[in-house]
């Protein structure tokens, strides 16, 4: 197994891509800490699934990634209990789509605070521990929208483009301490986030995807496992697209 004796924190792991990442990390031997914000019933069910995968002390760590105060408190307590933090997956993200002229200031702020400030908050606190350990893996979940743009998503695209710039800068800061920082950039993946798109629009999008369909959460999770493992020890500051060829 690729991740025996490693401790991983996955933000936004109560469903969707985060849930799949949590399960794949556990299948490779990691102990997984499942972060979520609101949906405790779904997070509990992910924890039950993790317990079926291995007897490692997997746990739940509810906090709002957009609050620096909460992030600092919860990650610090977590590391006191686990004694180590080897892998951070910054996955928590939201959309509040609207055309720019209709977009409320609150829709801009909420998306930036969760998708970009949340990554700053968690990375800053985790980096403190990883620097002391002189090892670590950070994987940030960006988005195709941050690379290509998408009408109705100025807030979301800006936040994800920000995650890409953040990833490259932090990779340069932390490389000398054997901490890698990479981004995975999903295209259209079957989750709650994309289920709201009407079926006609989904069919239209698929026509432009060379591989012909939306991706699965596992398509993202397998790449995250690789980036979190020693097999990717010479990769940092990279943005890897998983988009069925929609953007190349
Ligand atoms: P999702 O199904 O909507 O799940 C979002 C997760 O994030 C949930 O676990 C949610 O927790 C958590 N979350 C939201 N705000 C949070 C906060 N402030 N603090 C902590 N947790 C928070 O989303 P998804 O589709 O799996 O997307 C996961 C990531 O991939 C996001 O960063 C998204 O932008 C990115 N992405 C997705 C797609 C796609 O096609 N689905 C494409 C490109 C990129 P609760 O349930 O507790 O609220």
Give per-residue pLDDT as tens, 102-141.
999 999 999 999 999 999 999 999 999 999 999 999 999 9
Asked if the model's pLDDT at residue 2 lies above 90, the reply is yes
Q: Is the shortest distance between the CB of 159 and ligand 1 below 6 Å? A: no
Q: What is the mean pLDDT of residues 177-189?
A: 98
Strand partners, 185: 241
Average model confidence (pLDDT) across the chain = 98
pLDDT band at 96 (very low <50, low <70, confident <90, very high): very high
Q: Is the shortest distance between the CB of 121 and ligand 1 below 6 Å? A: no
Q: Is the shortest distance between the CB of 20 and ligand 1 below 6 Å? A: no
Q: Kindly state the tokens that stand for 108.
A: 């801009």
Q: Is the shortest distance between the CB of 28 and ligand 1 below 6 Å? A: no
Q: Is the pTM of this model over 0.85?
A: yes
Does the annotation mark 156 as catalytic? Answer: yes
Give per-residue pLDDT as tens, 132-151.
999 999 999 999 999 999 99
Q: Report the separation in Å between the CA atom of 106 and the middle of ligand 1, taken as the mean of its atom positions.
A: 18
Predicted pLDDT at 196: 85
Nearest CA to ligand 1 atom 34: 93
Percent of the chain with pLDDT over 70: 100
Of 68, 156, 234, 247, which is the active-site residue?
A: 156
pLDDT band at 71 (very low <50, low <70, confident <90, very high): very high
């Amino acid at each position: 197994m690729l991740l025996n004796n490693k401790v991983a924190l996955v933000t936004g792991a109560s469903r969707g891509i985060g849930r799949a990442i949590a399960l794949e990390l556990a299948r490779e031997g990691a102990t997984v800490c499942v972060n979520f914000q609101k949906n405790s019933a779904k997070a509990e069910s992910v924890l039950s699934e993790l317990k079926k995968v291995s007897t490692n002390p997997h746990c739940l760590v509810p906090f709002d990634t957009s609050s620096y105060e909460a992030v600092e408190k919860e990650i610090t307590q977590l590391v006191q209990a686990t004694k180590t933090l080897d892998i951070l997956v910054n996955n928590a993200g939201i959309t509040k789509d609207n055309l720019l002229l209709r977009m409320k200031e609150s829709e801009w702020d909420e998306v930036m605070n969760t998708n970009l400030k949340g990554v700053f908050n968690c990375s800053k606190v985790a980096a403190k521990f990883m620097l002391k350990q002189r090892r670590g893996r950070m994987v940030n979940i960006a988005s195709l929208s941050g690379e290509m743009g998408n009408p109705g998503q100025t807030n979301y695209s800006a936040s994800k483009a920000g995650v890409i710039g953040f990833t490259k800068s932090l990779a340069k800061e932390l490389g000398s301490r054997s901490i890698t920082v990479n981004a995975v950039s999903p295209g259209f993946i079957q989750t709650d986030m994309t289920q709201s798109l009407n079926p006609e629009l989904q069919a239209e999008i698929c026509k432009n995807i060379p591989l012909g369909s939306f991706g699965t959460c596992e398509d993202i999770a397998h790449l995250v496992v690789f980036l979190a493992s020693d097999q990717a020890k010479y990769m940092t500051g990279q943005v890897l697209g998983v988009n069925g060829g929609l953007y190349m």
